Structure 1
Amino acid sequence: MPEGPEIRLAADRLHRVLSGNRIVAASFTPHRLRHAKRRIEGQKVRRVTCHGKAMLTEFDCGVTLYSHNQLYGIWQIRERGETPKTNRSLRVALHTEQHSARLYSATDIELWPTARLDEHPFLSKLGPDVLDPLLTAAKIAGRLQHESFRKRALGSLYLDQSFIAGIGNYLRSEILFQAKLAPTARPMDLTRRNLQRLARATLAVSQRSYRTHGLTVTPTTRKKITELDSDFAKTRFAVFAREHRPCVNCSTPIEKDQFTARRLYWCPVCQPG
């Protein structure tokens, strides 16, 4: 499933081609959205943004198209008149004079009043977006110490979207590795220094992945990993999907465990319990 950085990059691409432009034609295949075409055609797109893994396309008529890609959903952009060659099921199509944006395979799609987005049953439960410019390390440290989260093992807490939205499998593994913390550690047991290091790593790894389109490691670390492994997919990460490969810091084989029924990778030496 795409995580916060991938969703925000997709939102950026949609924003560039849709924002400020009028929708001259639209189609919605889900039956519950059968009336959306009349509402959207002729409207201008104000902006496209996201919260966690939810995409939000805001129109100037006061409604927002909410969509969640889940595992298989994907937005594709083409110049007007071009159609992607795909076997995917088309769910939404938004056409401007110059471009077409099409959403395929997603099932969680709704048209929602913009002024009431905070009442949306999914959005209302989310914590702050991990890539929100207003999110600081101090705010993350504060949430780690909140009664709702402080007793939870980090390996499960860091997939809880009510804690911070947008963190998924690979970010969780990479953040905990950079913070040098075991997935079994709990915020309540951490020193202030460790809490601060974890908060900083949460921002640094997520922002780096967004900025570099998927790399969670620094250029120096990636150079070290490349010397150990030539597989590009494996050199994107310090630990994720690198089971049995040597840790870039200590050469200990990376381990793979299950937390909340999802795979997690970590170094038992660099991340002591």
Structure 2
Amino acid sequence: MPEGPEIRRVADRLGKVLVGVPLTQVWFAFPELEAMAGRLRQTHVTAVDCWGKALLVIFADGHVLYSHNQLYGVWRLHRSDQPPRTNRILRARLSTSRHTASLYSASDISLWTTETLERQPFLARLGPDLLTHDVSTGDIVARLGERRFASRGLGSLLLDQGFYAGIGNYLRSEILFYAGLRPMKRPKDLSDTQREKLANSILTTILQAYREAGVTNRPVWRKRVQQAGERRAQWRFAVFDRDGKPCHACGATIQRESVASRRFYYCPVCQQG
């Protein structure tokens, strides 16, 4: 399932072709939404944003189209005169004279307004989005110290979207590797220096994943693997999905275990903090 960086990139791609451009078609598969299609076609898109794994299309009249891809949903961009060939079920379509954004297979779609959006059940449970809400390292350090988070094991806390939205399973392993921490550690167990390092790891890792299309490995490490002819799956990450392989930093064997019912990867040498 895509994580925050992937959804942010989708939002950016949609925004480039939809924002500020007159709409020629607005169509929904669901009758309660289709009733609003004519009105939305008379306005235009002012922004395409995301919050965690939810995508938000914001219209000039104040309406907001909420969609969550869940396991199978996907937005596809294509020329308006060249719809893609697919067996997926079309759920929504927003078209300009040149481009179309088509949403396939998603079932969680609804219309809100900028005033009512905070009451959307999924969004109401989310913490700030690391790529949308201008989060700083200091913000993360402060949040780690809050009572509701300080006693949680990091392995489960990082997956809790109420802590910060957008961190998924591959990011969790990568973040804790760069922070030098094991998943059973709690924020309250950490020194000030460790909390600062963890906060920096959270922010820099998700920003790198966003900028480099899901790649979180350090350039010098991945270059070495690329030159050896390895496939992308082996050079994309520092530790995730690399059990049995040598650590890029120290050469120890990467281990895998289950943490919070999800697979977790770590270096037993680098992560002794």
TM superposition score normalised by structure 1: 0.96
1:112 aligns with 2:112: yes
CA deviation string 1:27-64 (max 9, x = no partner): 11134423232332222011101111110000111100
Provide the C-alpha distance between the structure 2 equivalents of 1:258 and 1:30, rounded to a whole number of angstroms: 39
* 1:139 to 2:139 alignment: yes
Contact 1:149 1:157 (C-alpha < 8 Å) held by counterparts: yes
Q: Hey, what's the Cα distance between the residues in 2 that align with 1:146 and 1:82?
A: 51
Q: Equivalents in 2 of 1:39, 1:125: separation in Å?
A: 30
Q: Which runs of 4+ in 1 moved over 4 A?
A: none
Q: Deviations over 1:97-154 (max 9, x none)?
A: 1111100111111101112212211112111111136210110011111111111111
Q: Does 1:67 align with 2:78?
A: no
Find the counterpart in structure 1 of residue 176 from structure 2.
Answer: 176
Cα distance in 1 between the residues matched to 2:62 and 2:170:
36
Q: Output the CA distance in 2 between the equivalents of 1:227 and 1:269.
A: 25
**Equivalent residue number for residue 86 of structure 1:** 86
Amino acid at match of 2:110: E
Please give the alpha-carbon distance, in whole angstroms, between the structure 2 residues aligned to 1:34 and 1:97: 20
1:47-88 deviations in Å (ceiling 9; x for gaps): 101111110000111100001111211110111111101111
Does residue 241 (structure 1) correspond to residue 248 (structure 2)? The answer is no
1:200 aligns with 2:197: no
**What RMSD over aligned residues (CA atoms) do the two structures have, in Å?**
1.4
CA distance in 2, matches of 1:179, 1:268: 13
Q: Which residue of 1 aligns with 2:48?
A: 48
Structure 2 residue aligned with 1:16 = 16
Q: 1:253 — aligned with what?
A: 253
Query: Which residue does 1:218 correspond to in 2?
Result: 218
**What SS does structure 2 have at the residue aligned with 1:204?**
helix
Matches of 1:238 and 1:9, distance apart in 2 = 22
Q: Which residue of 2 aligns with 1:38?
A: 38
Using structure 2 for the length normalisation, give the TM-score: 0.96
C-alpha separation in 2, matches of 1:219 and 1:133: 27
Q: Tell me, what secondary structure is at the counterpart of 1:15? A: helix
Residues 131 and 207, structure 1, Cα contact 8 Å, conserved in 2: yes
Aligned residues: 273
**Identity across the alignment (%):** 47
* Unpaired stretches in structure 1, ≥5 consecutive residues: none
How far does residue 221 in structure 1 lie from its aligned partner after superposition? 2.2
* Residue 269 of structure 2: aligned partner: 269
**Measured at CA, do residues 146 and 90 of structure 1 come closer, stay the same or move farther in structure 2, by a change above 3 Å?**
same
> Which amino acid in the other structure matches residue 221 of structure 2?
T
Contact 2:50 2:132 in 1 (8 A): no
**SS of the residue aligned with 1:148?**
helix
Contact 1:225 1:238 in 2 (8 A): no
